[in-house]
Structure 1
Amino acid sequence: MEELKFRVQEYEGPLDLILQLIQKHKLDIYDIEISALLEQYMAAIDEWRENQLDIASEFLEMASHLVYIKTVMLLPRHEEEGEDPRKELTGALLEYQACQRAAALLGEKNRGVDRFVRPPEEHEADMTYTLIHRPGELLGAYFGALGRGRRHLPPPKTAFSGIVSRRVVSVASRIAFVLSKLYRRARVNFLGLFEQSDRPEMVATFMAVLELIKDKRVRATPDGKELVMLRSGPVPETTKQEG
């Protein structure tokens, strides 16, 4: 059976571990005692190994870097030979510490909401309309607004003129008209019946011709150009057209 392994989740990285060791043992971050720090750092790694925890490579890399700093500091050197080998580590720790503080501050401000937002600022309202329109757009908007206003008004009287003032022509009156033409002449031109007639008269005349053909009083020639009288009969009285 494969043994269980646990990853280190207590620290986000080697810098996090070093900061906690410095705080725990009250070391000076600006004058780090490398021997004491390396001893505590390696003790933490040995503890993880005893508990069969998986150690990330970055922790081992930092351990080798601490050993290098301790070795350089043990070697005899003159003050003018170079900078303190701990300076780079101190700068990295201070930068990491500042990032931790900024993250904690943002976390406090963002608690309970989905995102971090700054407080609202007051701005003076500018009521100047700055959008530029083409003349055609303005004209279209004007006519559109004018049309919407007119829809709420009652329709003018002229809107009903085509319905109220239109003459009503009866079919019977047009039957008398057609028969009167045929009594004078035995046949008449079909299209001539519709000359000088408005639409109501044309419709009534056409219906009258259909009625006469149905009653077999007239017939149309094969070419459809003329009407021919088939049998005579009393001419119906012309009814008075209703205005």
Structure 2
Amino acid sequence: MDYRIQLTEFEGPLDLLLYFIRRDEIDVFDIPIAHVTQEFLQYVQALKLVNLDVAGEFVYMAALLISIKTKMLLPRQEVDEEGEPLDPRRELVERLLAYIRFKEGAVHLETAYEARKDQFVRGMAGMVQEYVEPTEAVEYRVSVFGLISALQRVLRQVQEAPPIHAIAAEAHSIEGQEAFLVEKMQRSRRLSFVDTCVGKSKSFIITTFLAILEMARKRMIWIIERTTEADFFIEPFQEGLHVALGLEPDVADATSKKQKKQFDKTGVILSDSEG
């Protein structure tokens, strides 16, 4: 089955590059292209592993980064009309600076809209319509980089593990892994993704990862991202799985209102707590 989920943490390849730059406090005029290229390619490759939609612009940016990296390794660099060496990163820097300006402009427009949306000038009373709640499912965002980092971590363990003997091919389905996770949460309310997948096959890991994304999309579980290492926890969402798991309402309500509000906005909780 071709199962695809569109994750929108990053609005495009420049948004992803900007994330790397801000996270590592990199000078935009002196980007360590080898390091950034490696991280970008790992991200794109991990998305392909789980059949997530990878837009052509991400692939184009990956090719551009590789091209820049190759040019910087050449002994002779191109020069401009005045004989000064051209920095292969120049085009990328210009695109990033333009993107930052547009992004800041969008934030300014959104702030101005929020400040004035409830203000009406004289004569507009007849034009105001009653607000109707949208009927379509509300799109939310998850911390893609944190989830992908955890997936890469367990997949590396599979690749590094020495083969012992041949075994029959496993058949895992997303629905089956959802049932598996529900059963696991009946015994332990909070599960670590890495601990759940340790020693398992590549098929098990990828299908479990997709099952977690699907359960989060359906508001069945929380995804609690660990900021200290490449891992995340899952636990029942109070309006979803607690009934199926037989948990008492007061236990399910233990999750703070602050966390619920954050989940409603982003679909993920950031936490250093390991429960």
Same fold (TM over 0.5): no
- Higher Rg: 1
Q: TM-score band (shorter)? A: 0.3 to 0.5
Instruction: Give the alignment's TM-score, normalised by structure 1.
Output: 0.44
- Structure number with greater CO (CA < 8 Å, separation at least 6) is 2
